[in-house]
Chains A and B, each alone.
Chain A
Amino acid sequence: MTTTDLKLYQIGTFAAGNRLLDPDERSVQADPGRANAITSGHRACQGCGEALGARFVLDAAIRAAEGNIVTANATGCLEVFSTPYPESAWQLAWVHSLFGNVAAVASGIAAALKAQGREHIRVVAQAGDGGTVDIGLGCLSGMFERNDDVLFVCYDNQGYMNTGVQRSGATPPAARTATTKPVGVEPGNVFGQGKDLPRIAMAHEIPYVATATVADLRDLERKVEKAMSVHGARYLHVLVPCPLGWASASKDTIRLARLATQSGLFPVFEAEHGVVTATTPIRQRVPVEDYLTLQGRFAHLFGEPGRPDVVARIQAGADRNIVRYGLAAENEVVPHG
Chain B
Amino acid sequence: MAEPQLPFAITLGPGSSRSDLTGSWRTERATYVTRQAPCGNACPAGEAVRDWLYDAEEGDAGYERAWRRIVETNPFPAVMGRVCYHPCETSCNRGQLDESVGINSVERFLGDRAIELGWSLPAVAAPTGRRVLVVGAGPAGLSAAYHLVRLGHDVTVREAESRPGGMMRWGIPRYRLPRSVLDAEVQRILDLGVRLELGVRVDDLAGTMAAEHFDAVLVAIGAQVGRRAYIPAGSAAHVLDAVTVLHGIEAGERPLLGRRVAVYGGGNTAIDAARTARRLGAADALVVYRRTRERMPAHESEVQEAEEEGVRFRWLSTIGEVEESSIVVEQMELDETGFPQPTGRTEVLAADSVVLALGQESDLSLLTGIEQVDLARGVVHTSPTMMTGQPGIFAAGDVTPGDRSVTVAIGHGRVAAERIDVWLAGLAPAPEPPRELAAFDMLNTWYYEDAPRAHRPRLELVRRQSTFEEVVEGLDVDNALYEARRCMSCGTCLSCDNCVAVCPDNAVVSLGMPGSYAIDLDYCKGCGICVAECPCGAIEMVPEEI
Chain A contact residues, CB within 8 Å of chain B: 1, 3-6, 8-12, 14-20, 26-27, 29-30, 32, 36, 39-44, 46-49, 51-52, 55, 82-83, 85-92, 217, 243, 249-255, 258, 284
A-B contact pairs, 17 of them (CB 8 A): A10-B57, A11-B448, A27-B501, A30-B501, A39-B506, A40-B505, A42-B17, A43-B20, A46-B525, A48-B504, A49-B504, A51-B504, A52-B504, A55-B504, A87-B19, A91-B14, A258-B446
Contact of B52 with A by CB under 8 A: no
Q: Do residues A36 and B495 form an inter-chain contact, with CB atoms below 8 A?
A: no
Q: Do residues B25 and A10 form an inter-chain contact, with CB atoms below 8 A?
A: no
CA distance A88 to B504 in the complex (A): 16
Q: Do residues A40 and B22 form an inter-chain contact, with CB atoms below 8 A?
A: yes
Q: Using Cβ atoms and an 8 Å threshold, which residues of chain A touch B529?
A: 47, 52, 250-251, 253-254
Using A88-B13, A90-B15 as known contacts, list a sample of 5 further A-B pairs with CB atoms less than 8 Å apart, ordered by residue number in A: A10-B487, A11-B448, A43-B22, A52-B529, A253-B504
CA distance A249 to B505 in the complex (A): 17
Task: Knowing A87-B20, A90-B14, A258-B446 are in contact, say whether A20-B485 is a contact too (CB < 8 A).
Answer: yes
Task: Knowing A6-B481, A10-B57 are in contact, say whether A40-B496 is a contact too (CB < 8 A).
Answer: no
Q: Do residues A17 and B501 form an inter-chain contact, with CB atoms below 8 A?
A: yes
Q: Do residues B17 and A251 form an inter-chain contact, with CB atoms below 8 A?
A: no
Contact of B479 with A by CB under 8 A: yes
Q: Do residues A89 and B531 form an inter-chain contact, with CB atoms below 8 A?
A: no
Q: Do residues A17 and B502 form an inter-chain contact, with CB atoms below 8 A?
A: no
Q: Do residues B531 and A251 form an inter-chain contact, with CB atoms below 8 A?
A: yes
Q: Using Cβ atoms and an 8 Å threshold, which residues of chain A touch B478?
A: 4, 6
Q: Using Cβ atoms and an 8 Å threshold, which residues of chain A touch B527?
A: 46-48, 243, 250-251, 253
Task: Knowing A11-B447, A40-B523 are in contact, say whether A19-B494 is a contact too (CB < 8 A).
Answer: yes
Q: Using Cβ atoms and an 8 Å threshold, which residues of chain B touch A26?
A: 497
Q: Do residues B479 and A10 form an inter-chain contact, with CB atoms below 8 A?
A: no
Could you tell me the distance in whole angstroms from the C-beta of B480 to the nearest C-beta in chain A? 11
Chain B contact residues, CB within 8 Å of chain A: 12-22, 25, 57-58, 446-449, 451-454, 478-479, 481-482, 485-489, 494-498, 500-507, 510, 512, 514-515, 520, 522-523, 525-529, 531-533, 535
Q: Do residues A8 and B19 form an inter-chain contact, with CB atoms below 8 A?
A: no
Complex: chain B residue closest to A217, CB-CB = B501
Q: Do residues B528 and A251 form an inter-chain contact, with CB atoms below 8 A?
A: yes
Could you tell me the distance in whole angstroms from the C-beta of A49 to the nearest C-beta in chain B? 7
Q: Do residues A254 and B533 form an inter-chain contact, with CB atoms below 8 A?
A: yes
Q: Using Cβ atoms and an 8 Å threshold, which residues of chain B touch A5?
A: 482
Complex: chain A residue closest to B507, CB-CB = A40
Q: Do residues A11 and B506 form an inter-chain contact, with CB atoms below 8 A?
A: no
Could you tell me the distance in whole angstroms from the C-beta of B36 to the nearest C-beta in chain A? 20
Q: Do residues B497 and A30 form an inter-chain contact, with CB atoms below 8 A?
A: yes
Could you tell me the distance in whole angstroms from the C-beta of A15 to the nearest C-beta in chain B? 4
CA distance A1 to B454 in the complex (A): 9
Most buried by B among A17, A41, A42, A48: A41
Q: Do residues B504 and A44 form an inter-chain contact, with CB atoms below 8 A?
A: yes
Could you tell me the distance in whole angstroms from the C-beta of B489 to the nearest C-beta in chain A? 7
Could you tell me the distance in whole angstroms from the C-beta of A156 to the nearest C-beta in chain B? 16
Q: Using Cβ atoms and an 8 Å threshold, which residues of chain A touch B21?
A: 41
Q: Using Cβ atoms and an 8 Å threshold, which residues of chain B touch A43?
A: 17, 20, 22
CA distance A82 to B482 in the complex (A): 45
Complex: chain B residue closest to A7, CB-CB = B449
CA distance A47 to B527 in the complex (A): 5
Q: Do residues B506 and A12 form an inter-chain contact, with CB atoms below 8 A?
A: no
Q: 6 closest A-B pairs (Cβ-Cβ)?
A: A17-B497, A251-B528, A41-B17, A16-B501, A47-B527, A88-B12
CA distance A192 to B22 in the complex (A): 40
Q: Do residues B500 and A40 form an inter-chain contact, with CB atoms below 8 A?
A: no
Most buried by B among A9, A87, A92: A87
Could you tell me the distance in whole angstroms from the C-beta of B13 to the nearest C-beta in chain A? 7
Q: Using Cβ atoms and an 8 Å threshold, which residues of chain A touch B494?
A: 10-11, 18-19
CA distance A47 to B25 in the complex (A): 12
Could you tell me the distance in whole angstroms from the C-beta of B537 to the nearest C-beta in chain A? 13
Q: Do residues A4 and B482 form an inter-chain contact, with CB atoms below 8 A?
A: yes
Could you tell me the distance in whole angstroms from the C-beta of B488 to the nearest C-beta in chain A? 8
Which among A14, A87, A89 is the interface contact of B447 at CB below 8 angstroms?
A14
Could you tell me the distance in whole angstroms from the C-beta of A45 to the nearest C-beta in chain B? 8
Q: Do residues B515 and A19 form an inter-chain contact, with CB atoms below 8 A?
A: yes
Could you tell me the distance in whole angstroms from the C-beta of B4 to the nearest C-beta in chain A? 11
Q: Using Cβ atoms and an 8 Å threshold, which residues of chain B touch A255?
A: 532-533
Task: Knowing A20-B57, A39-B15 are in contact, say whether A15-B497 is a contact too (CB < 8 A).
Answer: yes
Which among A16, A88, A258 is the interface contact of B17 at CB below 8 angstroms?
A88
Q: Using Cβ atoms and an 8 Å threshold, which residues of chain B touch A253?
A: 504, 527, 529
Task: Knowing A46-B25, A51-B504 are in contact, say whether A11-B14 is a contact too (CB < 8 A).
Answer: no
Q: Using Cβ atoms and an 8 Å threshold, which residues of chain B touch A254?
A: 502, 529, 532-533
Q: Using Cβ atoms and an 8 Å threshold, which residues of chain B touch A9?
A: 449, 485
Could you tell me the distance in whole angstroms from the C-beta of B291 to the nearest C-beta in chain A? 36
CA distance A29 to B498 in the complex (A): 9
Q: Do residues B495 and A47 form an inter-chain contact, with CB atoms below 8 A?
A: no
Could you tell me the distance in whole angstroms from the C-beta of B504 to the nearest C-beta in chain A? 4
CA distance A90 to B16 in the complex (A): 8
CA distance A16 to B18 in the complex (A): 25
Task: Knowing A17-B496, A254-B533, A284-B446 are in contact, say whether A85-B12 is a contact too (CB < 8 A).
Answer: yes
Could you tell me the distance in whole angstroms from the C-beta of B485 to the nearest C-beta in chain A? 5
Could you tell me the distance in whole angstroms from the C-beta of A57 to the nearest C-beta in chain B? 13
Complex: chain A residue closest to B21, CB-CB = A41
Q: Using Cβ atoms and an 8 Å threshold, which residues of chain B touch A42?
A: 17, 20, 22, 505
Q: Using Cβ atoms and an 8 Å threshold, which residues of chain A touch B514?
A: 19
CA distance A46 to B515 in the complex (A): 25
Most buried by B among A3, A40, A90, A243: A40
Which among B20, B479, B482 is the interface contact of A41 at CB below 8 angstroms?
B20
